[in-house]
Amino acid sequence: MFKLCVYIPEPHLETVKQALFAAGAGRIGDYDSCSWQVLGTGQFRPLDGSQPFIGQQGRVEQVPEYRVETVCADEVVDDVLAAMRRAHPYEEPAFDLWRLDPRCG
């Protein structure tokens, strides 16, 4: 079992979450679409060679983003990551992926 944490700009929150859930993320026992989210501010600066969805190269941007945490089973983690990348508007989505202790799932 893995825990995925991804940062999503506010207008794309539901689209990305639905893609994650459709790929198999967020299943815990007899429940699906399980996640936790909190609104915060993301910061980044697009460098030369980037094609930013938001902002301009060389300029620091601050954007309202949701931190979304969910789980995914070993057998769907690759599909979940691929779905996240397809649905996410950013060229380089910011995310963390942790393997959980087997006692967690």
The pLDDT of residue 46 is: 94
* CA gap 41, 1 in Å, rounded: 28
Q: Is the pTM of this model over 0.85?
A: yes
Give residue limits of the domains in the chain: 2-104
Q: Architecture of 2-104 per CATH?
A: 2-Layer Sandwich (3.30)
Span 45-59, average pLDDT: 92
* CA gap 65, 9 in Å, rounded: 4
